Amino acid sequence: MNNPVISAELSLHSFYIFNSAFGPKEGEEEKKVLFYHPQDTDIDTKIKVVGLSEAIIKFSNTFTKDDSVQTMHTQKTCQFYFQPEPGYWMIMTLNVPFERKTRESGDYNEYHGDTIHDTIFQSVLRQSYRMFRMFHGTFQDNLRPNEELDAQANLIGQLEAFYQIYILHLQMKKCDVVDAFGSVQYLPLNQLLFLRVQNFINMIEATFAPIKHCIFLYSDQVVWSGLNPTDLYTLYEYFHSPMYDHFAKTKTVHPTYVTEKGKIKRYSLMVCRKVQNISLCLLLDDEAVQNEQSLYLELNAVVNPQLTSISSDISQHLQTSGETNYSFGCSGSKEDSATAPKFIYFNEMNLQHRGTVRLGPQQYQSMAGSGLPNDVMNLIVDLLDDVRSNRSNVMDETIVKTHDDYWIVKRSCNSRHVFIILNKSSTLIDVTEDTKKILD
């Protein structure tokens, strides 16, 4: 009788935020800790863990001129460091996945630390800060007293209110190249349809003075955006997370902080969704909105008829062009199998991706064979890291073969990258020919 295999998946071990300046004296170490997960951790453990992180940061700084420590690997855990603002450190620790195995000397755990890609999870940590900053402002902005709390207590309260909910929805095992890209999918439309959407955006911005920026989504893909690509990605992630459903129940309008010309500006976010697959996200002048509910009702009365018509035309366009399943970024045909050639296109200029590979949570909601193995995903990120570290406007091509007969062809030029993934036993010449057929 075979014993069942005991294993543990990748999981979150701890997540904490501290500032050493808040507890500089002996006996005040507890004041450094601004947020800690799990919450039921005793204070002595929190102080020890934060103290160890401080020591690692100071040790690494003896070799560099800046706070460049980012990752520390051990056999059982992997720790990620990020300093989003001077003095504030965010640390995320992951449990390395393992399998329980047997040998002559007894049972042992075989850890798979190579499955954790530094770039992917460093991006997840950075995104956790950007999400907080988008809806609460910077840490320093929140370090101010209110009627009931002093400055530090107010900051701690804001961090706890946000991250207690945010961490509950972090799905580490579903993180992939999209987290490293920090990109969204755009919906390709013909020129007339795109101009119609643009005219509609111009009309509502001219009609309603408080509206400063708009984001137009169809079937959760971006058609139009007035935000910078990084803030757009953060909002896009928010709309597709359970956090949106949680916060949308309480308010029609939420304060939102976006970056404009290098400065952070506060707006009010109003979401009108969904009208026939269309979601309209509006950023309103924070000082110009007098009656939020009245504006919301007036907007719906004006835009809903036009959105219904635009949605119908877009749907008809997608059906006639054969892209009815484009919301998943792949054809959905019988060719969408484990052996069919796949591609991922990524544009770093506008943080856009598209392709025939289901990425992010979509790969876990789709048919079998439409995703990629974890080691192939990690290799794609390795190739992207290599390009980012060797910036050049010259087109380059890299071909890599994995141990399980996956071929990855990467072509890059002017911050645009395409990855061709082939799953077959073949020669380098055959792979080159197949790549030419796909790209040409």
- What pLDDT digit, counting tens, does each position of 118-176 carry? 999 999 999 999 999 999 999 999 999 888 889 999 999 999 999 999 998 888 888 88
Buried b (16+ CB within 10 A) or exposed e, 66-84: ebebeeeeeeebbbbbbbb
Sheet with 342-347, edge to edge strand ranges:
352-355, 342-347, 416-423, 406-413, 396-401
- pLDDT of 335 higher than 70: no
Q: How far is CA 437 from the centre of its chain?
A: 32
Give 338's pLDDT tier (boundaries 50, 70, 90).
Answer: low
- pLDDT of 365 higher than 70: no
**Structure tokens belonging to residue 312:** 């119908």
pLDDT of residue 250: 66
Averaged over 201-209, what is the pLDDT? 91
Backbone torsions φ then ψ of 104, nearest 5 degrees = -60, -35
Q: What is the CA radius of gyration of the chain?
A: 24
pLDDT of residue 256: 93
Backbone torsions φ then ψ of 431, nearest 5 degrees = -65, -40
